[in-house]
């Protein structure tokens, strides 16, 4: 076999050693949810930074609304996946609301 040749049940070979993939689908989905929450937080941060550059009496640029909508969509997707697999991955958003 050549190095890194896929074998049965998620194992790969590296020379003569067999490396098993021990990550479960739920672990992968939980990691995906964490990434979605991180991306949502980054979108919220981008919206905050853009909004901070505008005087309070001026309208927010459309990009602020777009960043906030992207964050909302990312969180909704994460929550949908979490509900489907029966887990909860904490996000930073509730802490931001608390102040």
Beta bridge partners of 6: 12
88: tokens are 């909860």
What local confidence, expressed as pLDDT, does residue 92 receive? 47
Q: What is the pLDDT of residues 6-34, one digit of tens each?
A: 545 555 555 667 666 677 888 899 899 99
In the block, which residue shows the tokens 């067999």?
18
What local confidence, expressed as pLDDT, does residue 23 receive? 74
Distance of CA 89 to CAs 18, 26, 49, 60, 93, Å? Answer: 32, 12, 26, 31, 12
85: tokens are 């697999």
Domain ranges of the chain: 23-90
Q: What is the pLDDT of residues 29-84, one digit of tens each?
A: 989 999 999 999 999 999 999 999 999 999 999 999 999 999 999 999 999 999 98
Give 1's pLDDT tier (boundaries 50, 70, 90). very low
d(CA 50, CA 10): 45
């Amino acid at each position: 076999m050549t190095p890194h040749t896929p074998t049965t049940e998620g194992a790969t070979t590296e020379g003569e050693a067999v490396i098993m993939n021990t990550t479960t689908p739920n672990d992968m989905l939980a990691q995906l949810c964490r990434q979605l929450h991180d991306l949502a937080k980054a979108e919220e941060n981008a919206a905050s930074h853009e909004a901070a550059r505008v005087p309070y009496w001026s309208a927010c640029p459309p990009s602020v609304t777009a960043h906030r909508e992207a964050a909302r969509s990312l969180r909704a997707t994460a929550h949908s996946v979490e509900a489907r697999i029966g887990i909860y991955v904490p996000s930073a958003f509730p802490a931001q609301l608390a102040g």
